[in-house]
Amino acid sequence: MPQVAAGGDAGCYCCEQVHPGEVNTMSLMISVSGIRGIVGQTMTPQLAVDIGCAFAAYVHSGSVVLACDSRPSGPMIRAAVLAGLLSGGCKVVDLGIVSTPGAALMVNELGAGGGIVITASHNPTSWNGIKFLTRHGTAPPKDQADDIIALYRSRNFAPVSVEKVGSFTCDDSTHRRHVDKVLGIIDAQAVAKKRFRVVLDSVCGAGGAGGRMLLEALGCEVTYLHEEPSGRFPHPPEPLAENLGELCEAVSDSKADVGFAQDPDADRLAIVDETGCYIGEEYTLALAARQTFGRRPGSAVANLSTSRMIDAVAQRAGGTCVVHRSAVGEANVVEAMKRHNCVIGGEGNGGVIDPRVVYVRDSLVAMALALQLMADEGSPLSRIVSEIPRYHMVKQKFTCDRERINAVLAAVKKEFADEKLNDADGVRIDWPMGWVHVRGSNTEPIMRVIAEADSPAATEEIIGRIRGLVDRV
């Protein structure tokens, strides 16, 4: 399944210093996904202190979980955020280098008022970012993200007096608690009996320790690639086919049953089958849904940019298995999951959400469900994948400022007014043979066009029609 470009994002507030028709890597990206910037340019200690102060005001000087991925700039940004939180009177629990889902779980485990994770997800090492977590251990929905950003912009905060300065403690139990929670949602003994051979590429990110703990608890024979959390990424950190040649070769050479690739904060997972073939991030959610529906029929949520494979999996499962669609962005998926009381959800970027663990995309959950599926069905992964309808997907992006994005979306709605439209997030158009989703990115000054159809020719035709509209606008 070709993927020209990828990456998830959610509602955007600003992309500062961007000029029409140009992607400016000096930009500071502020969205419901958090804040990202270039270290030493737009992501600075002063910015991090101010964000810490704003978040302290948001949680009313309550308790806050603080974590970071493995980037070399992490200690600097974390220290600055910590200073802001303490100056706002917060009780801070520092988790150290842990995954984003692990940090989210700890918000719930410790009853914290919220959390902050220092991470730029799949961005290169030169970037860093600040993600927010609500008191429920979830990405903040737009209204709450609005409140945090408004506090930052208005500087409606002030240092507390010396008597009220916050406190600071450390907690190193995240990996164990997270793994225990994941083991609780599967039949760990049945998986362990299979003695699966696994290759895990943690890209020197935050997921290596938890990944090792989980796979060894499941009795797997594991080959580890880039486990050390140095943050010096050995290859581009987004888990796409072009970045995972080493993993594919290692799976083939070691005759492993499966290969797993995490992103730096370990909330996304890509999978390689036993032949050394990269099957793609889009399959991660479909496989997780297949396992879940087989044992716990129910509803699922996927965002508007996610493959129809999950719909095919639900249809095959029958009964009450229904897929609902949400706007792009983890918070939107979670809100829809709660509304429909779903058993599984996620996004086509390799993010799987199981509410029994935490309402955050989780690579450990995705690994556990994939191994459970392989154990349940007693088949090689390639055979399981072959039973899921295969579509041709293309993901493209065009440099585009906000004004032009709005003009393109208006043109798309007018051009396809008589078709089945969904404008909850950009515009999605569905036909019997395929679909296309056109939307502005929420973390970059670009437009994303994602199309999927039964054949490459049909997909290219869809993309061509949209590109023609983009060119005209």
Instruction: Write out the DSSP string of 135-146.
Output: TTSSPPPHHHHH
Residue 310, burial from CB neighbour count under 10 angstroms (0-12, 13-18, 19+): buried
Question: Are 420 and 414 within 8 A, CB to CB?
Answer: no
From 315, 196, 183, 203, select the one nearest 255 (Cα to Cα). 196
Beta-strand pair 269-272/258-262: antiparallel
Question: Are 138 and 334 within 8 A, CB to CB?
Answer: yes
Verify whether residue 441 is a known catalytic residue. Answer: no
One of 63, 73, 121, 305 is an active-site residue; which one? 121
H or E element, residue 271: strand 269-272
DSSP, collapsed to helix, strand or coil, labels residue 103 as helix
User: 155 — alpha (psi -120 to 50), left (phi > 0) or beta?
Assistant: left
Tokens of 31: 């969205």
Question: Are 363 and 178 within 8 A, CB to CB?
Answer: no
Please, what's the b/e burial string for 106-122 (b: 16 or more CB within 10 A of its CB; e: otherwise)? bbbbbebbbbbbbbbbb
**In whole angstroms, how far apart are CA 141 and each of 2, 34, 157, 353?**
31, 11, 22, 16
Residues with a known catalytic role? 121
